[in-house]
Amino acid sequence: MFAYTIKRLLTLIPTLFAASVLVFAFIHLIPGDPVAVLLGDTATPEEIAALSAEMGLDEPIYIQYAYWLGNVMQGDLGRSIFFQEPVTRVIADGAETSILLALMTMVWIVVLGVPIGVIAATRHGGWIDQIASGGAMFAASIPTFWLGLYLILIFAVTLGWLPSSGFPSVFDDGGLANLRYLLLPSLTLAAPNSALIIRLVRASMLDVQREDHVRTARAKGLHPAKVALKHVFRNALVAVAAAFGFTFAALISEAVVTETVFSLPGIGRLVVESILRRDYPVIQGVVLVIVCLYLVINLIVDLAYAWLDPRVSLK
């Protein structure tokens, strides 16, 4: 396990390095002078000269990359053109919303996806299984923003039960009750991702059911529910654990859309608005943060997977 951890950590470094090169290159791929791109249209010649010197634009490109990476390592992701604030602060402002949204979505996925998957697998081939599998595929075919708009139309506009947009911090007035603002967005995000988990739980339960130890458990005369939960579900969960890495990636992608639909002050909406405002330093910073986060989460998931199923690290 230790050797596997080290090996996995070592493969992370070149990937992170290459991803950082791509994120750095992004500013240089946009047509126009990178300094003008970073400072926006309102920049004065003095500001342009100062930033050019800071970025080392008269130096070769790899030196420029080294300057940039040095700044990133010190937590300096540049300055937002629109907010006139450090990019790190702009990202930190959106972090609360996005983290809480992701957590609430994960709760829905576990609460909805896992039990439905288990029930579908235990009723394999029956009508419950067909409805669950077909329903999951249908849910995965719905555009997230469309579902979000319909939920707003039903629960916010028509019934008036829940707020339709925005999210005041849980540290402001209202406290934890403010989480109700995230109820519809998290359900919207959970729908397609629960679908994925339902199908995965079902498929891995069916795989495990065919294994010898399950047949032995049945032959011993154990109660079917006990076999399903203790012998099949526990082993099937290992495969599902690995899927959470992918789910998280999907969450990040779809949060961009969901946060826009519900006008949430999160990182996802920040990406979209920064693209529309051409606030390149923010785009660059957010993309770098998300990619790092994604790689680290995948690393944790892989290690958890190896820990749960020791056969993985031996391969």
Partner 1 sequence: MTAALATFNQVFRGRRLALLGVGWLIIVAIAVVFAPWLTPYDPLEIDPVARLTAPNAEHWFGTDHFGRDTLARCIYGARMALLIGLGAVVVSLVGGTLIGMLSAYFTRLGHVLMRVVDVAMAFPALLLALVLMTILDRSVTNTIFVIGIVYTTTTARILFGMTLKLKNEVFVDAAVVTGAGHPSVLFKHILPNLISPLLVQATFIFAFAQLQAAALDFLGLGLPPEIPSWGNMLAESRVYVTRASWLLMFPGALIILTVFSMNLVGDALRDAIDPRFKDDIAGV
Task: Determine the interface stretch with partner 1 among 63-71, 87-95, 174-182, 249-257 (rule: CB under 8 A).
Answer: 249-257
Contact mark string toward partner 1, 153..192, x via CB under 8 A: x---x-----------------------------------
Residue 249 touching partner 1 (CB under 8 A) = yes
Nearer to partner 1, 217 or 280 (CB): 280
Nearer to partner 1, 22 or 111 (CB): 22
Contact mark string toward partner 1, 28..57, x via CB under 8 A: -xx---------------------------
Nearer to partner 1, 249 or 304 (CB): 249
* Binds partner 1 by CB under 8 A, chosen from 64, 144, 193, 204: 144
Residue 141 touching partner 1 (CB under 8 A) = yes
Nearer to partner 1, 214 or 287 (CB): 287
Count of residues in contact with partner 1, rule CB under 8 A? 45
Per residue, what are the HEC states of the chain? Answer: CHHHHHHHHHHHHHHHHHHHHHHHHHHHHCCCCHHHHHHCCCCCHHHHHHHHHHHCCCCCHHHHHHHHHHHHHCCCCCECCCCCCEHHHHHHHHHHHHHHHHHHHHHHHHHHHHHHHHHHHHCCCCHHHHHHHHHHHHHHCCCHHHHHHHHHHHHHHHCCCCCCCCCCCCCCCCHHHHHHHHHHHHHHHHHHHHHHHHHHHHHHHHHHHCCHHHHHHHHCCCCHHHHHHHHHHHHHHHHHHHHHHHHHHHHHHHHHHHHHHCCCCCHHHHHHHHHHHCCHHHHHHHHHHHHHHHHHHHHHHHHHHHHHCCHHHHC
Residue 10 touching partner 1 (CB under 8 A) = no
Task: Determine the interface stretch with partner 1 among 43-51, 136-144, 215-223, 224-232 (rule: CB under 8 A).
Answer: 136-144
Q: Which residues bind partner 1 (CB under 8 A)?
A: 14-15, 18-19, 22, 26, 29-30, 134, 136-138, 140-146, 149-150, 152-153, 157, 195-196, 199, 249-250, 252-254, 256-257, 260, 271-272, 275-276, 283, 287, 290-291, 294-295
